[in-house]
Amino acid sequence: MDKKWASVRALFVAVLAISVATLGVTAVVGGNWVMWLRGAAVAAASVWLVALTGQAARGRRAAYVRIRFVSVAAPLGIVLILLAPDSGYPGWMKAEQAVVGVLVAAVALIVNRRAVREAYPKGGKLG
């Protein structure tokens, strides 16, 4: 796995670790269903994204496209959560989501570089 994909993988693994820790904190503080759902969804998505990273590193354009989409869309969704006045998330969880957003935005910076985009041309391997 080359350096850029190793970096992307490390960022997604960090998101996974943070998400699992968030579930632990949620259990300790007796979090509401919104907190459980968000924590579990982000953890599950992180596992999926780590797997996609391996596929993209092996040249699968479809995996690259999915990572590229998620790495742009997820931080935007997180901003909405952070700005929502009554989202059901306590301040500590909003802070955790901000950290996750920064990590995923870092992925977006990596995978949207011109050289990376050119390595996965539109007519390229989709499988």
Asked, for residue 15, whether it belongs to a domain, the answer is yes
Asked, for residue 124, whether it belongs to a domain, the answer is no
Read off the pTM.
0.92
pLDDT of 126 strictly over 80: no
pLDDT of 108 strictly over 80: yes
Domain that holds residue 9: 3-118
Asked, for residue 125, whether it belongs to a domain, the answer is no
One-letter-per-residue 3-state SS of the chain? CCHHHHHHHHHHHHHHHHHHHHHHHHHHHCCCHHHHHHHHHHHHHHHHHHHHHHHHHCCCHHHHHHHHHHHHHHHHHHHHHHHCCCCCCCHHHHHHHHHHHHHHHHHHHHHCCHHHHHCCCCCCCCC
Q: At 104, list the tokens.
A: 């995923």
Asked, for residue 43, whether it belongs to a domain, the answer is yes
Asked, for residue 16, whether it belongs to a domain, the answer is yes
For the chain, the domain total comes to: 1
pLDDT of 125 strictly over 70: no
Percent with pLDDT over 70 in the chain: 97
pLDDT of 81 strictly over 90: no
